[in-house]
Structure 1
Amino acid sequence: MPQNPIVTEPSTKDVLELRGRVEELLPSAKFKIKLENGHILLGHLAGKMRLNRIRILPGDEVKVEV
């Protein structure tokens, strides 16, 4: 076993960016989002949007990172 193992952290650029539309508001600041390809997924606000109290409403176009 090596004395100083190399630790790699996941890159923040290893994500998929998809576009979608908010279909439904759910409790705990969660949203049902319908992607352009027809899939539906559950999403939540990013930290900066929550801190700045950005409101998301049904029908809003959003960018989703998966």
Structure 2
Amino acid sequence: MMLIPTYQELCDNEISTKTLLTMKKDSNLINAEGLVTEALSNGMFRVRLDNGCDILAYISGRIRQNSIRILPGDRVKVELSPYDLTKGRIVYRLRNKSANDEITF
């Protein structure tokens, strides 16, 4: 029997995940914010969440339809499934970058 790891187990950080993640009431999706660190092929991006986890995220259909360009260094909102916390969907590109956001490779 395989146990599903929790988000805290995937990212061993001392930052509390309760302040960084929220659940939608009407669905089982987890909302988080992060910084795009790398643009991959086919609309895939590597996103570093605010708690330090790196996930693989793809662009939602609404962002594709409206031709919203997402580049490395952009702040985004990501939806995560509770079943696979290493992959997510980018649902919103935040407008302003904060001064402390830096891309480190």
What TM-score bracket applies, with the shorter chain setting the length? Answer: 0.7 to 0.9
Consecutive unaligned residues of structure 2, counting only runs of 5 or more, are 1-24, 81-105
Note the C-alpha offset of 1:21: 0.3
The structure-2 alpha-carbon separation of the partners of 1:26 and 1:37, relative to structure 1 and needing over 3 Å to count, comes to same
Q: 1:19 aligns with which of 33, 41, 47?
A: 33
> When the two structures are superposed, what TM-score results if normalisation uses the length of structure 1?
0.80
Aligned length: 56
Supply the RMSD in Å over aligned alpha carbons: 1.4
Which residue, out of 55, 59, 62, partners 2:69? 55
Of the three residues 39, 44, 49, the one matched with 1:35 is 49
Q: Output one character per residue of 1:5-62: Cα deviation in whole Å (capped at 9) or x when no partner.
A: xxxxxx9621100010000000111000000000000001110100111100111000
Normalising by structure 2, report the TM-score: 0.51
Higher relative contact order (CA 8 A, sep 6+): 1
Give aligned-pair identity as a percent: 41
In structure 1, runs of 5+ residues without a counterpart are 1-10
Paired residue type of 1:30: M
